[in-house]
Amino acid sequence: MHSNQIKLLFILLFSSIITAQNNKVIDWVNQNAIALSDRDFKNDLNISREQLSPNFINAIVFGFGEATHHNKEFFEMKSKFFKYLVQNQEVRVFVIEESFGASHFINEYLMGNGGDLLQLMLGLKQGIWQNQEVFELISWMKSYNDTKTNAEKIQFYGNDCMFNYGITAIIKDKIQQQNIAITSEEKALLDFFSKQSFQDQEKTILQEKFSAVKELGTKISVTSNDIKLRDALKALEHFSAFLVNPNQETRDRIMAEIVEKIHNRQNAKIFVWTHNDHVKKTVVYKDKTPSMGNWLHQKYKDRYYAMGFEFGIGKLFGFNEGKKAFENVVLEEPIKNTNSEFFFNANHNIFYFDFKTANQNEVMNKFLSQKRDYIQIGAYGLVLKYIKYNYISEKYNDMYDGLIYIKKISPRTSLN
């Protein structure tokens, strides 16, 4: 037998082994994954406690990602899981990848302190949350809170330090209400941080301003026990810290610190709503720095539960290079050689499986422990021309504790 024939035989044999292994993985998913086909938020999550792993049941911080920021099915499934966790596992804090200020005003609304939800949501700095799906979730939170005592109510926080929406206004208002004396320099400091963008010549003094913000926070905390004022001062400190070091390492570290601070203060179970890239327990793919989930996993170990999302086909937010405009991109088949394509062969349209449970199976453990390609799609959407730059290779076991797969996705329902 010639060497070329031997090589061909080896390739065919290797391919048949891989195909057989892949088929076994799909067979396991078909038989053991939890089908989640009902997306209607009005209906409770059709899942029993017996179907959930001890890892999920015992978690105190739940990180729920999304494969894109723009598709309704991710929002719908996350909303259903949040509702389940509130009703069955005493989760009482909702944290979202959003500015402190905008989230503060939504929390005031949820606490019964007035406001129009539509207008409050249009004030979110992350326009990706301005959709009907999130509107329905917050409306449900309000209805839930209306029947509860203050101690039992769901609280709403933002943990994204990139934005300064409303922070200084909240601080100034509370300082005035409480007759707290501040100097003209401190007033000027708050005015300085009232804006979102800064001139190049201003950036040279940001470190100095950051130190001044910390000093102001320390000073006011001595004279005021107002938690909301203290939180606003801390949010301003976080914003100024990001301006000094405007990178992903700063951002994700602070996102995790905020979650930890809330838990330490309230001893509450927390649901965190962000992108897959923040939720996963490894690194942020562009900077290769620790993700929010990495920090939370270091802190809480198995009591942090990271839920990832994948999808197959559908209509996605993207950018048309020729038109130089954003538009929807239609994927009529899964992206080749990725987990998205692989799971598309499963029977269920939407399904969830837990990795601790799956790892008890030898074939699944091998699969979840292999480096495999997936697609990373951020806030700017998908540009098919440059899709090769969206490919990332990681091990599922390193990234998540569970996965929700949705075969077909569609655009979120905008409020505008």
Domain boundaries, the chain: 167-265
Per-residue confidence (pLDDT) for residue 202, from 0 to 100 = 78
Least confident of 34-38, 158-162, 228-232, 320-324: 320-324
Phi-psi region at 112: left, alpha or beta (left = phi > 0; alpha = psi -120 to 50): left
What is the signed CA dihedral for 3, 8, 11, 15, rounded to 10 degrees? -160
Contacts of 357 (CB under 8 A, 6+ apart): 32, 53
Query: What is the percent of the chain with per-residue pLDDT over 70, rounded to a whole number?
Result: 95
pLDDT band at 180 (very low <50, low <70, confident <90, very high): very high
Query: For residues 134 and 156, what is the distance between their CA atoms, to the nearest angstrom?
Result: 13
Answer whether residue 17 shows pLDDT above 50. Answer: no
Contact 339, 372 (CB under 8 A): yes
Per-residue confidence (pLDDT) for residue 14, from 0 to 100 = 41
pLDDT band at 13 (very low <50, low <70, confident <90, very high): very low
Q: Which residues pair with 414 in a beta bridge?
A: 131
